[in-house]
């Protein structure tokens, strides 16, 4: 469910007409719903209410300060994967003891920043990282709380570029080596193992891969405890999928996910941590764009928009589908017709959809890309010297620009010329 609905023929974001925002902000832009963000977070929180838990929002999905503060006010922790994300979480008022640090390439500088500012745990991905964190912690005179990310070799049955739990993926250590790795952690005085971490991928639409992975984690918990390790937390990652196509079978609900965790791991007496991102932010955001031209080609027609692949790269990178709808609801009885929907970037890859059935549209008409709140703005760029597009947040009948569009001068003035020029 989201809060982008037609009323009297016009698309609204909560209680604000999308066309009114477009008139004031200009297109293209991202638009988020506070009500959807908070609702989706609370669904996860309620799904784990049967035991001690922490829902750490995966910031890589959408990391604007206003989004982070909105979720932090609901009690969210944060899952960060870089020093920049850690700094954003702290700036949004999230205390260090509610931040977990994931990622395969943590640098010494990032480790020091997190140890100085406070951290709930580092999710370690390799033995070299483990050794480095131990050295940094000893140099700072502290002990770093850690989990080790285990790779359970489970096929998440998702897109190859977002699968993370198979043996050939770069993430974590093989679960078969977990005992020896935890034994090594126990001998390092700068580290303290507090739990186990696992994350098998993103956009999962079936609970069975989770069941297989969680069962292995449960077995490992028993083995490590028998070896003398104090396993207090199970960080189970995120990855639950969202419906990108309206009308198709919906992915499992957070409550189903929570019940599965309870079935497989509820008897372990551990605090459960999860790291949802896409399901919290995905359907909470749309990208609004304008038709620049309607072009007739050889055997096909094109809708050329002012939004482009640099603004929303998911279709070009993942062949991802986003439903695209007109901001003004078409009149009854209209006939759909096929369009290739493209942007103005000078690449054939700048294509959002091919032969998509759409109502008739004309120059100046507005369209909305649904389910664009996750991995949209955070993956955008200034390719072709196109400014980053604004982000806008709606709260009931109010809206605010939470990231403005930079001017060309602001973009150019970030460059500096060497002395010989």
Write out the catalytic residue numbers: 346
Contact of 59 with 80, CB cutoff 8 Å: yes
Contact of 345 with 308, CB cutoff 8 Å: yes
- The residue among 305, 308, 314 whose CA lies nearest residue 386 is 308
- The residue among 378, 342, 380, 334 whose CA lies nearest residue 359 is 334
Contact of 154 with 165, CB cutoff 8 Å: yes
| Cis geometry, peptide bond prior to residue 28 (ω within 30 degrees of 0) | yes
Kindly report the length of the chain: 421
Gap between the Cα atoms of 421 and 413, Å rounded: 15
- The residue among 87, 28, 5, 36 whose CA lies nearest residue 242 is 36
Gap between the Cα atoms of 397 and 301, Å rounded: 37
H or E stretch covering 292: strand 285-296
Helix/strand number for the chain, H first, E second = 12, 21
């Amino acid at each position: 469910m989201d809060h982008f609905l037609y009323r009297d023929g016009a698309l609204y974001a909560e209680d604000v007409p999308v066309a009114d925002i477009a008139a004031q902000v200009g297109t293209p832009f991202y638009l988020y719903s506070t009500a959807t963000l908070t609702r989706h977070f609370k669904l996860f929180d309620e799904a784990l209410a049967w035991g001690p838990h922490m829902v750490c929002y995966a910031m890589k999905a959408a990391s604007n300060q206003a989004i982070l503060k909105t979720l932090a006010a609901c009690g969210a922790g944060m899952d960060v994967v870089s020093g920049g994300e850690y700094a954003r979480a702290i700036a949004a008022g999230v205390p260090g003891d509610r931040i977990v640090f994931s990622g395969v390439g943590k640098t010494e500088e990032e480790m020091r920043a997190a140890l100085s500012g406070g951290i709930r745990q580092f999710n370690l991905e390799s033995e070299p990282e483990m050794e480095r964190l131990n050295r940094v912690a000893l140099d700072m005179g502290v002990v770093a709380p850690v989990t080790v990310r285990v790779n359970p070799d489970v096929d998440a049955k998702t897109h190859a570029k977002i699968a993370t739990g198979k043996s050939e993926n770069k993430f974590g250590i093989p679960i078969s080596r977990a005992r020896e790795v935890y034994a090594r952690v126990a001998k390092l005085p700068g580290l303290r193992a507090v739990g186990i971490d696992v994350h098998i991928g993103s956009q999962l639409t079936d609970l069975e891969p989770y069941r297989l992975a969680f069962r292995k984690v449960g077995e490992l918990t028993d083995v490590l405890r028998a070896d003398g390790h104090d396993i207090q937390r199970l960080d189970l990652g995120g990855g639950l999928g969202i419906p990108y196509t309206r009308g198709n079978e919906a992915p499992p609900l957070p409550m189903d996910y929570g019940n599965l965790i309870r079935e497989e791991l509820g008897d372990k007496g551990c605090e459960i941590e999860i790291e949802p991102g896409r399901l919290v932010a995905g359907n909470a955001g749309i990208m609004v764009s304008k038709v620049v031209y309607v072009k007739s080609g050889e055997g096909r027609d094109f809708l050329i928009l002012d939004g482009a692949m640099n603004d929303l790269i998911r279709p070009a990178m993942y062949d991802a589908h986003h439903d695209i709808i007109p901001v003004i609801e078409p009149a009854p009885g209209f006939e759909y017709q096929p369009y290739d929907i493209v942007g103005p970037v000078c690449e054939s890859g700048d294509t959002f959809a091919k032969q998509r059935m759409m109502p008739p549209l004309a120059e100046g008409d507005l369209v909305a890309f649904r389910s664009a709140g996750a991995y949209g703005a955070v993956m955008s760029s200034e390719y072709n010297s196109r400014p980053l597009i604004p982000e806008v947040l709606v709260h009931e009948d109010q809206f605010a620009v939470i990231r403005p569009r930079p001017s060309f001068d602001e973009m150019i003035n970030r460059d500096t010329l060497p002395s010989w020029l």
